Amino acid sequence: APPLVSVRDLTMTFPGKRSATGRRGAPVRAVDGISFDLAAGETLGLVGESGCGKSTTGRMLVRLLEPTSGSITFDGRDVTHLSQGALRPLRRHLQMVFQDPHSSLNPRQTVARIISDPLLVQGWAAGDARRRAAELMDLVGLIPEHIDRYPHEFSGGQAQRIGIARSLATSPRLVVADEPVSALDVSVQAQIVNLMERLRRELGLAYVFIAHDLSVVKRVSDRVAVMYLGRIVEIGDKKSLYEDPQHPYTRALLSAVPLPDPAAERRRERITLLGDPPSPAAPPPGCSFHPRCPKAQPLCKTERPALTVAAAGPATREVACHFPGD
């Protein structure tokens, strides 16, 4: 079957910030030419440090942002530059769950109103939308009798369930979840991840699940893409990527994921990265990871590595590194 979503050379450039003197800085390439496919019902985990372009990518996928260049195809249709009007019938299939549930829910609206809103936009009658909202509350583990309450009457985890219910109201085919558990207590993170995983199975959704570390996406993802400074540096099948990471950045991120077996945890070597990620306004030349890479060679400072199937790795893996593997 053709992919549900197909992304090619996707780029987002933001104008540079104005300084105190009113001069504009250089434009920032938040996303710099990324490509991937997503099959119907599949979950892609999108991982990287803050500022790597993962949220911008997510917002382009549901067309809350219009890409600067490249293309996004959804269900065989090029949606890259569709106007808001032309997007309206597609909106029901492209939904988003945001990081901070309380700030993404209108505090002056009841849960009924919040969850019904995408349905009313699609032309549903108010009574039908309310009934559907109550069903959705039940589906996500909330008490439907609480439908006339306001967001502040719910805990963070419950508020995120409301956000998830809202995202599912129109029976979307793609949900982009932008760090949906990062703002929640660790004790409820697993519950929300498990809920989203169950909903995906029951409803046949495709997710792009964004997170800043590899432990969160491990359970939900079929494939994982690791981003660094606006580019995908490694992408592949989840199981094989966790077992045999090829890119030094993926290896470093993985070395920070706690292992369940304490003996293995003690034996394991931590890879500590030097410094913070550089500003996307001034990415280093060559491989943009070279200033922090424990394996960097002179070539890395001048030649940008392309994302390609690494000879040493599995055929389904693509890596952007001159010296992948051990």
The partner in contact with residue 55, picked from ligand SF4, Mg ion, none with C-beta cut-offs of 5 to 8 angstroms by kind, is Mg ion
Amino acid, res. 296: A
Enumerate residues 67-86 that contact ligand SF4 by CB under 6 A. none
Would you say 51 or 236 has its CB closer to Mg ion? 51
Which parts of this chain interact with Mg ion (CB under 5 A)? 55
Would you say 174 or 253 has its CB closer to ligand SF4? 253
CB of 273 to ligand SF4, least distance (A): 11
Total of chain residues touching ligand SF4, rule CB under 6 A: 14
CA distance 14 to 56: 10
Q: Is 52 in the site for ligand SF4 (CB under 6 A)?
A: no
Q: Is 293 in the site for ligand SF4 (CB under 6 A)?
A: yes
Q: Is 300 in the site for ligand SF4 (CB under 6 A)?
A: yes
Q: Distance from CA of residue 284 to its chain's centroid?
A: 24
Would you say 99 or 288 has its CB closer to Mg ion? 99
Q: Is 296 in the site for ligand SF4 (CB under 6 A)?
A: yes
Answer for which of 287, 307, 313, 318 binds ligand SF4 (CB under 6 A) is 287
CA distance 276 to 48: 12
CA distance 245 to 324: 9
CA distance 255 to 208: 23
Answer for which of 137, 246, 289, 318 binds ligand SF4 (CB under 6 A) is 289
Query: Looking at beta carbons, which residue is closest to Mg ion?
Result: 55
CB atoms under 10 Å from CB of 229, counted, come to 24
Would you say 30 or 321 has its CB closer to ligand SF4? 321
Q: Is 34 in the site for ligand SF4 (CB under 6 A)?
A: no
Pairing between strand 223-228 and 5-14? unpaired
* Element holding 225 (H helix, E strand): strand 223-228
Would you say 45 or 305 has its CB closer to ligand SF4? 305
Buried b vs exposed e over 196-219: b needs ≥16 C-beta within 10 Å? bbebbeeeebbbbbbbeebebbbe
* 247 half-sphere exposure, CB direction, 13 A CA radius: 31
Q: Is 205 in the site for ligand SF4 (CB under 6 A)?
A: no
Residues 75, 173 contacting (CB under 8 angstroms): yes
Q: Is 48 in the site for ligand SF4 (CB under 6 A)?
A: no
The partner in contact with residue 7, picked from ligand SF4, Mg ion, none with C-beta cut-offs of 5 to 8 angstroms by kind, is none
Quick check: helix, strand or coil at residue 293? coil
Quick check: helix, strand or coil at residue 279? coil
Select the span of 91-99, 107-115, 275-283, 297-305 touching ligand SF4 (CB under 6 A).
297-305
CA distances from 110 to 107, 151, 165, 199 (A): 8, 7, 13, 23
The partner in contact with residue 119, picked from ligand SF4, Mg ion, none with C-beta cut-offs of 5 to 8 angstroms by kind, is none
CA distance 239 to 244: 9
Q: Is 203 in the site for ligand SF4 (CB under 6 A)?
A: no
Would you say 130 or 231 has its CB closer to ligand SF4? 231
- CA-closest candidate to residue 308, choices 252, 233, 243: 233
Enumerate residues 225-254 that contact ligand SF4 by CB under 6 A. 247-248
Residues at the contact surface with ligand SF4, assessed by CB under 6 A: 247-248, 287, 289-290, 293, 295-297, 300, 305, 321-323
